[in-house]
Amino acid sequence: MIFPVGMRNLRLRRIRSVLAVLPCLSVALFCIGLAQMSSADDIQAGRLKAEVACQTCHGIDGLATIAMVPNLSGQREDYTIIQLEAYRSGKRQHSQMSIIAQSLSDEDIRNLAAWYAAIEIAVTVPDE
Ligand code: HEC
């Protein structure tokens, strides 16, 4: 397209200012990513909490000890967080989990999710 010289300069300046913001934006996104990654301390705190509040049913290794209790080991961290928040808010209901989740703080939920996500699992698909 052909623009009068003034317009072209204006457009170039706009493009340049947008480009100048990009590095800042990517640094900011990187930092947000780092902040969301759980630390070894979170994982350890999650383990301690799991020992007292969860292991009876879910096992400390996240392998359920009782029928009808789901395994938690290797579960995606954000999935576990969403489920625990849902039990706590009443969005998801279960006679036991709804009561247990009431006593969990936001930090407990993050730590517990970090603990169970940190457990490595191996999967073997059966032959046909
Ligand atoms: C008394 C046994 C018991 C204890 C203790 C217990 N849970 Fe559960 N948990 C269950 C049962 C049963 C379910 C399945 C509930 C349902 O069907 O919604 C469940 C479901 C869950 C789920 C949802 C899993 C999924 O796949 O959607 C999560 C997450 C969870 N428990 C985390 C925890 C954590 C963390 C603790 C410790 C703070 C804990 N539970 C303590 C029995 C227990």
Give the residue, out of 52, 56, 57, with the most ligand 1 atoms within 8 A of its beta carbon, to mutate for a pocket test. Answer: 57
Q: Does the C-beta of 56 come closer than 6 Å to ligand 1?
A: yes
Atom of ligand 1 nearest to the CA of 94: 18
What pTM was computed for the model? 0.80
Average pLDDT over residues 72-86: 98
Q: Does the C-beta of 57 come closer than 6 Å to ligand 1?
A: yes
Mean pLDDT is lowest, of 27-31, 45-49, 77-81, for 27-31
Atom 5 in ligand 1: which residue has the minimum CA distance? Answer: 54
Q: What is the pLDDT of residue 18?
A: 61
Q: Classify residue 64 by its DSSP letter.
A: -
The domain locations on the chain are 1-37, 40-118
Q: Classify residue 92 by its DSSP letter.
A: S
User: Which residues, 6 or more positions from 80, have their beta carbon under 8 angstroms from its beta carbon?
Assistant: 72, 109, 112, 113, 116, 117
What is the CATH superfamily name and number for domain 40-118? Cytochrome c-like domain (1.10.760.10)
Average pLDDT over residues 86-101: 98
Q: List the one residue out of 67, 117, 68, 112 whose CA is nearest residue 94.
A: 68
